[in-house]
Amino acid sequence: MSFPILTVAAALPAVGAVLTAALPPATNTRSRDRNKVVPLLFSLGTLVLACVVAARFQPHGARYQMTEHHSWIPQFGISYSLGVDGLGVVLILLTGVLVPFVMLASWHDADPVVDDSGTFERNRRTQGFFALILAVEAMVVIAFEATDVFLFYVFFEAMLIPMYFLIGGFGDRTKGEDARQRSYAAVKFLLYNLLGGLVMLAAVIGLYTITHTFDLVSITTALQNGSLHFSSTAENALFLGFMFAFAVKAPLWPLHTWLPNAMGEATPGVAVLITAVVDKVGTFAMLRFCLQLFPQASKTFAPAILVLSVIGILYGALLAVGQKDIKRLVAYASISHFGFIILGIFALTSQGQSGAELYMVNHGVSTAAWLLVAGFLMSRRGSRLISDYGGVQKVAPVLAGTFLVGGLAILSLPGLGPFVSEFLVLVGTFERYPALGIVATAGIVLAALYVLVLYQRTMTGPVKPGNEGVGDLKARELVVVAPLIALLLVLGVYPKPVADIVNPSVNQTLSQMGQSDPAPHINAATTTTTGGGQ
């Protein structure tokens, strides 16, 4: 029996969460920092295991590798089945990379709050914050690994619990109206996602009544060899049930309204966890479950989903332009970017889906870099309002420079990671839906507008009163930001290693759907013959 690397990769952060939560409460700053080191070490261990999984994965090998299969509830055909394809590998690696940086960036976000008189306003168990982050990581990793539909559903829903407490219990730490807004954002996040999960549960039960199994590989194999057939009505209904849940998680317009509230009220590190890690489960599941289990329904509804994606691209970008709150601006920018990802998925072309899978990685890294630097800025000034800033580059040039690089990545500047993925998404969309591709390009122009205007308002010009004491990045903060920027540069200049991993899974998905790229159209009237004897 081979070593269960996938189980260990998910179990390590889960064990870390339990041990971190069991640590004795800190009594001073030294013991509090010591309690933080334990979860950080577990997150680094998870990163090492994610690297091992990536190293062991063979892009041109079997579709699902490092598989594990154990009977769980045999009466209902439920099993503990794990396996990773190319997309699962890169998203596990992305999660492993980002979580340690989130922890380092959030090092003081859960420290006790002290008022002006020097007394505690709220003395919380700091290690609980980091235990919840590890719990989220464990559930996200196993969701990327699950090849049993029911197993995936369990963790798809379970990750909502620690996220709810991270938003509601460890978000904006002020009292009064802001505290009520934090609670409202957490409840809204939970209710939206629970509604999506309940709809998906009905679809999961419907899938079982037809197939009598939850095993993804068995169902897709039966569909391919013709031993399993869905009626068009049943397939469409099941597809919509799954897609609704994933569109809420992603989120896709108009099911997006929970995201600006959740990101606005969460700490910057938790906001990164939401949009760069947890939300990727939604787009990942569209590729793994919607397209593979319901190929005909995916084709049927693709045009409608593409229209919603384009609306989301423009809607998110337009609202980002008008935001006064930095974190809400990033939230609406993410809605626009998720529109690009879903556009690439449902264009049903190899370029579009390759771009979408690369986009998931690049969006995660770029959003983390941009938002974490913004978080360092907001922690210094104590404000999320754009109008409170100005002239920061004069007093904190390194902070301003890294904020600019993160913003340039968000607007997909050539040479940075997101450019390649966005280009592929648009090329893949143009191949099959040229009109939608043309409209979607407006999102690029709007992205440049909200990124550059934000930089101009916060970083340039004279130093506004209150910003004189904004210090530059410290050593811990540079350790967070520098690797993320370096990764953006590497992915922008040389995306081949990631593309080589995800491209075979793209081709396998399209082959399972019986889908091929449109044939190129060449106008014979514009061709000329060459050669003297012709």
Q: Collapsing DSSP states into helix, strand and coil, what is residue 253?
A: coil
- Cα dihedral angle (170, 399, 481, 473), rounded to 10 degrees? -70
Contact 347, 305 (CB under 8 A): no
- Residue 77 in any domain: the answer is no
pLDDT of residue 250: 87
pLDDT of residue 114: 57
pLDDT of residue 178: 62
What tens digit of pLDDT does each residue of 34-83 get?
A: 888 899 999 999 999 999 999 999 998 888 999 999 888 888 888 999 99
Q: Report whether pLDDT(175) > 50.
A: no
d(CA 107, CA 167) in angstroms, rounded, equals: 16
Establish whether the linkage from the previous residue to 260 is cis, with ω within 30° of 0: no
Kindly report the pTM of this predicted structure. 0.90
- Cα dihedral angle (223, 226, 229, 235), rounded to 10 degrees? 40
Q: Does 534 or 461 have the greater pLDDT score?
A: 461
Q: Which two tokens stand for residue 297?
A: 């329904």
Q: Which residues 6+ apart lie within 8 Å of 217 measured at CB?
A: 64, 81, 83, 147
% of residues, the chain, pLDDT over 70: 93
d(CA 534, CA 530) in angstroms, rounded, equals: 7
pLDDT of residue 308: 95
Rounded mean pLDDT of 414-442? 91
List the Cα angle 203/206/207 in 5-degree steps: 90
- Residue 182 in any domain: the answer is no
pLDDT of residue 113: 63
Sign of CA dihedral 50, 56, 57, 62: negative
pLDDT band (50, 70, 90) for residue 33: confident
Range(s) of the domain holding residue 347: 294-516
DSSP sequence for 155-200:
HHHHTHHHHHHHHHHSS----THHHHHHHHHHHHHHHHHHHHHHHH
- Residue 329 in any domain: the answer is yes
Nearest one of 378, 370, 400, 328 to 101, comparing CA atoms: 370
Q: Does 520 or 283 have the greater pLDDT score?
A: 283
Summary count for the chain: helices (H), strands (E): 23, 4
d(CA 218, CA 228) in angstroms, rounded, equals: 10
Q: CB burial class (10 A; 0-12, 13-18, 19+) of residue 308?
A: buried
d(CA 71, CA 466) in angstroms, rounded, equals: 61
Q: Report whether pLDDT(534) > 50.
A: no
Number of structural domains found in the chain: 1
d(CA 64, CA 81) in angstroms, rounded, equals: 11
- Residue 221 in any domain: the answer is no
Nearest one of 362, 363, 357, 288 to 500, comparing CA atoms: 357
d(CA 149, CA 151) in angstroms, rounded, equals: 6
- Residue 265 in any domain: the answer is no
- Residue 432 in any domain: the answer is yes
Q: Which two tokens stand for residue 131?
A: 């235990």
User: How do strand 78-84 and strand 65-73 relate by DSSP bridges?
Assistant: antiparallel
How many CA atoms lie less than 13 Å away from 308 in the CB half-sphere? Answer: 20
- Residue 379 in any domain: the answer is yes
Q: Report whether pLDDT(525) > 80.
A: no
- Residue 418 in any domain: the answer is yes
